[in-house]
Structure 1
């Protein structure tokens, strides 16, 4: 069958990263109508992000080709969810139009974003996230002959370092906040996942230091250097770029708006990848950070369950458990040092959109009280950055995203029926 432009599909998948693509490929043989929404130009998510300087893995290329050959699957790239428009109904927008789409079942594969923690100078031009640096380089940013410092935690630091070096940058320091004992213990257990052991060896860097974290970005109009704590010593390193990533945070905003249970910053799912809301499933890093391998198998399970293939889905549980074991070790080894909560000075900006300082927030007992008093979270990102930082810094519950979930055209909002609200 050919899936035409329609306002209804049997299965809707939000997110075309590894989990979303795997879910669609698993569900497609049943012949039902499937739509995949993604805000990127091409499927692959952040981990398989495309661009002029990107080398998309063969697995991702193969999955893209398979999706293209499926007549019952339609991919909506460059598309965003604007708001809910009733039960099992969403208002969507892409570059050309806005429209309403209803569905029978939904799989959330919304991925994760970087956790950015404020520190003095973090708003200077030249400071980005670690994953953000990777995305910029893949998108064509020239970094040849630039000196770069990468700081934060987790394997993403080494991956970003390798990407930068491959494109001619000099990585002068990779500062991993986890202690050597934790990193060594994690590495010693990688024999259970041979491909990860090989990957770790290929990404090794002489600039790598453990028990190390950024203290401040230095400069006036743009970044000129970085002050880094390395063990008991403090280094000041001249550089043109600083990339910081303090782990990942699941994207749960749409799930929360739908009414799915979220706990410990992740969408709660059962063994079938089912959320607390009937006919709604979730897979990949929106259910917890675990890497592409875990996302792929979770996506396949969700896709199979969504079309009633529970026996086939159960056959994948052992593989999921294997990769969940890797994820558990990873998250334990690279858990954040509580000292990182103290990086910000009183004058450090926390909410970049509204220019709200740490001192302006610290005396408030909740996100809502702080927002009423300071306008934090009321800018373009709607608290996606500062709200997550405030959760880490102060233990506040993150804000519930209010519709519209992202800026939208008036013509798109006009698609709502009478009685619908934004």
Structure 2
């Protein structure tokens, strides 16, 4: 079954929701899709234990009021079907959806770095722990250590504590001086000051990072470097997150140019491909406020409402300054490159250790020699890790972009046959 829309928006997080609402008044036929069961993305992720902020609920209600916005949750992109059509799959079927304009709001994912013991049960990403708890993972009474870099650590700790966990330590790799400088600049964004105060935790330590997860069959403790000393803490859960990586796979597959790790966009949120826009964290991490304004600019631009898009440029500059400050303040220290031991797995899907990759000349060489990045996650975990550890540039994605049923892939044959 083939279908067509005027505007397709991939990703129903803050940016995607804002884009749909901005474009809706034009009367365009809009499809907003997401692979999660409900809109909100990762930052407004729903679930049995989720506490959605008022802004998330307001955006949901607003989407329901527009009959020209079709929300398709539980739907993922499998492949590019033609220049202006995507192969999609939901729980029931695969189908091809054509479009006139497209806005990529594919968000970001956690950067996970390898260290001894990181594959033990009980070790997750910091955002991953948040998602699991919101999905009803019981953590009451468990001892939790959170490590890595950036404000996500504090947010993850707050979610864990709200659900009964004992957060023993939040290990931030940035220095006290850097974090103090960041806090000194926060009054430029008053609501961020309130957030920081609300998330403060007495277990927060700077100049601190994970060295090793301890245990045999599952996590039993963690070894940390704190300043000039090494400390060990017994715990049931360790959550590590070393910043965010923009989700650019679909953008790359569509031929959109990258700027560093993110999708490159112009002042109208347009990508290097005509009629294709991008907004939110796939263009760089900056929080929900930046994502919302970028999404609105993209939505207005896509339907030709350039005056309304232009009016939002000052607000975008305001939140871009916050994003730039955040990136500078929580840049990863080179010391984290020394965490893996020779036998530490870097590619968990194909069991490829650090020593094997250290002898390779690049990403393609690593794939040929070891199958690194060729497992179930298709390099989404080990790719950014190898980029940080060795400076390798990941290769463009190949279809299918996500696991799919044979029946779904046959839709491409039906279209060409």
Q: Give the shorter-chain TM-score range.
A: over 0.9
- 1:60 — aligned with what? 56
Partner secondary structure for residue 412 of structure 2? coil
> What is the TM-score normalised by the length of structure 1?
0.98
- Aligned counterpart, 1:199: 195
Match of 1:259 among 255, 261, 284: 255
Deviation, structure 1 residue 90? 0.7
Assess if the C-alpha contact under 8 Å between 1:51 and 1:140 holds in 2: yes
User: Residue in 1 aligned with 2:46?
Assistant: 50
SS of alignment partner, residue 91 of structure 1? strand
Match of 1:363 in 2: 359
Q: What residue is the counterpart of 2:327 in the other structure?
A: 331
Q: CA deviation at 1:265?
A: 0.5
Alpha-carbon distance in structure 2 between the residues aligned to 1:226 and 1:399:
34
Q: How does 1:4-403 map to 2 (within 5 A)?
A: 7-403=3-399
Q: Does 1:414 align with 2:414?
A: no
The CA distance in 2 between the partners of 1:414 and 1:257, in whole Å, is: 20
Counterpart contact for 1:383–1:399, Cα < 8 Å: no
Task: Give, in angstroms, the shift of residue 417 of structure 1.
Answer: 3.7
For structure 1, which runs of at least 5 residues remain unmatched after alignment? none
In structure 1, C-alpha distance between the alignment counterparts of 2:61 and 2:329, rounded to whole Å? 37
String of CA shifts for 1:219-276, please: whole Å, max 9, x gaps: 0000000000000011000000000000000000000010000121000001110000
1:405 to 372, 378, 401: 401
Compute the TM-score of the two structures, normalised by the length of structure 2. Answer: 0.99
Cα distance between partner residues in 1 of 2:392 and 2:251: 19
C-alpha distance in 1, partners of 2:43/2:348? 26
Contact 1:33–1:73 (CA under 8 A) maintained in structure 2: yes
| Aligned mates of 2:100, 2:118 — CA distance in 1 | 44
Aligned-partner SS, 1:259 = coil
Alignment RMSD (CA, Å): 1.1
Paired residues of 1:147 and 1:240 also in contact (CA < 8 A):
yes
Number of matched residues?
A: 417
Question: Segments of 4+ in structure 1 off by > 6 A?
Answer: none
What is the distance in 2 between the residues matched to 1:295 and 1:255?
17
Spell out, residue by residue over 1:315-370, the C-alpha distance to the aligned partner (whole angstroms, 9 max, x if none): 00000000001111111000000111111000000000000000011111110001
Q: Secondary structure at the match of 1:189?
A: helix
Q: Is the 8 A contact 1:128 1:244 kept in 2?
A: yes
Q: 1:420 to 1:238 in 2, by over 3 A?
A: farther
